[in-house]
Amino acid sequence: MDILIAIRISTPSYRDKVYPKPPCHHIGEHYEKLWRAAEDLSHLCELNRKFLLGEIPETPYHGGPIDPETIPLVESLLKLHDFQLVADSSQPYEHSAFKLGEEWIERQQRPFVSFIMPREHGRSFFEMLKQTC
């Protein structure tokens, strides 16, 4: 299986770098204050957990509730939060084929999860990946 792993490692001033004001959508003032008030990664994990559970309707990285394709992934994404890995983007594998006029079209979507993790966990995480892949 071909797996794409995208990882962003946080820096001490990660809050403003990871969650700046988004250029593509406007987050409500109340929710923006919640995210900007986060003092550490554990607080961001808790906010993101609430978003995935539908308790917070939007985030700085996603301007609305989770997409329907994310619903089957929620349980697994929440498990990542137990290890202080904040998932901020994901998509499941999809494969479909359909006929458009006289031509058949095949569509494939690669699965991935993008997440933020504490810098100090980076080396051990990559070592663990090397052993399992």
- Read out DSSP for the chain? ---EEEEEE--TTHHHHHSPPPSS----HHHHHHHHT--SHHHHHHHHHHHHTTSS--BTTBSSSPPGGGGGGHHHHHHHHTTT-EEEEEE--EEEEEEETTEEEEEEE--EEEEEE-GGGHHHHHHHHHHH-
pLDDT for 25: 52
pLDDT for 49: 92
Arithmetic mean of pLDDT, 17-43 = 70
Arithmetic mean of pLDDT, 105-129 = 81
pLDDT of 130 above 50: yes
Domain boundaries, the chain: 4-132
Arithmetic mean of pLDDT, 65-84 = 87
Arithmetic mean of pLDDT, 76-87 = 85
pLDDT of 67 above 70: yes
pLDDT of 50 above 80: yes
pLDDT of 4 above 70: no
